[in-house]
Chains A and B, each alone.
Chain A
Amino acid sequence: MVQEILTVGFLTAFLSAAVRLAMPLMYGGLGEMIAERAGILNIGMEGVMLSGAFFSFAGAWYFHSIPMGLLCGILGGMVVSLLHGLLSIRLAKDQSVSGLALNMLMLGVTSFLYKLMSAGQSYQQVETLPSLAIPGLSAIPVIGEAFFNRDILTYLLYVLIIAAFFFYRSTNWGLNFIAVGEHPRAAESAGIPVNRYRWIAMVLNGALGGIGGAYLVLVQLGVFTENMISGRGYIALAAVILGRYTSFGVFGAALLFGAANALQIRLQTIGVEISPYLLAMLPYVITLAAMLGAIGKNSQPEGLSKPYIKGMR
């Protein structure tokens, strides 16, 4: 069995699957990271992604166009994030409660709308995004296939990860976003409109989470099913913590979760004599183990999940 695992073919397929499975987590994680660095905890990422998945499917179905599907997915995600913004920024409500409520709500809303949409038809499928191999890079053994023979959304993510890293490290706005999340009062006294920044962060949170959900539909499956995010939104939250609130960290953490999932699937298909139910737990066990390993290394923004009310001490 070990020989089977250690072939180039196996590794290539494994890594390729890891990247594919990690992609929704990377988008969701990046969106969540942007929100949390600005001080807003959006536990509703699951709902954001679910909304993104459903509306991208509906958009692609009605307009017969993948770009329109993507746009609808982004808007669908944004609406949920903005609702969270309304509750947690404008009304200064408890962010955890608001996020959980949104997850429940979106599960109901998307299931209901999907029932309405699919009435009479049992099976609907939309076209998916093709892969575009990057000449040269995609020829690298093992890695090339996994990272550079992919769809355009994956390449967009690479750009976003690098851009986010540069943004927080070297730009004036990036510094402002950090200040807003770490110490909103200090930010305000430096003339930064705290809540406006938080709204912007929520827009990005919704857009990226929406793409994360849409990715499942428009790239991987071509269909929508009830509760299809099935916990990926929560794993994205874990990826942010494990990735220490940096874009490369989120990328790495999401890849780790993707790899755990890919490994689990592969082991099942090889026929390893472990109960498939135990194997299915692997990604979540790794998540927990990773969180335990990160204990004591607190990089959480100090202003996280605290509403900012101007003039209050």
Chain B
Amino acid sequence: MIKVENLHKKFRHLHVLKGITTRIVKGEVVCVIGPSGSGKSTFLRCLNLLEKPSGGSIYIEGIDVTDHSLINVNEVRAEVGMVFQRFNLFPHKTALENITMAPMKVRGLSVEEATERAYELLDRVGLRHKADVYPDHLSGGQQQRIAIARSLAMKPKVMLFDEPTSALDPEMIQEVLDVMKNLARDGMTMIVVTHEMGFAKEVAHRVLFMDEGEILEEGAPEELFNTARHDRAKQFLSKILK
């Protein structure tokens, strides 16, 4: 479903991604792990074109989204949901309005349709009772669940999660992970940058270990965690799997 070929990204002199090549099939849950600065987030942001790749191609359902003559960036993004580390909810809108805004503006849904869809999603993340609350008055975990609902409202084909639990207090991490697990169980294609190894073990079909802009290791979670070949991967895993 997603095919990445030799993806490069440079920020001026900084070579962040040095030729990423991978394939993600429909319904697959892929966790991306690696030390900070290894280019995980940049890789994710390239997938929905928040960063413009400097080289290589990304095919989403067979269409090269790096070819700007072929595609409309906004249409690509509408199909690729993204959840951020810092939630990035719109503070001037209620939880419900956060969810209904994009479907109405981009998909052209009516208020009724959008609201109905929003309530379904609020039920799914267990926050129907918070529909009319502003983000300021929600806990971090609740905000992140609303953010997930907001992305889902666009009915994306794939969901990207950029360290969705890193900015959360420990007691709120589980509620977000539970929502993500349910999502995975429902067959959503997901790419998750995370440090939650428990989540990776339980849910992921495949784990990518990235370091210095390259995918060093790739494989099923148990296999990768136990039999990493590279020293850097071993070091990182030994620290994080304690």
Q: Are A and B physically bound partners? A: no
Residues of A within 8 A of B (CB): none
Question: Which residues of B come within 8 Å of A, CB atoms?
Answer: none
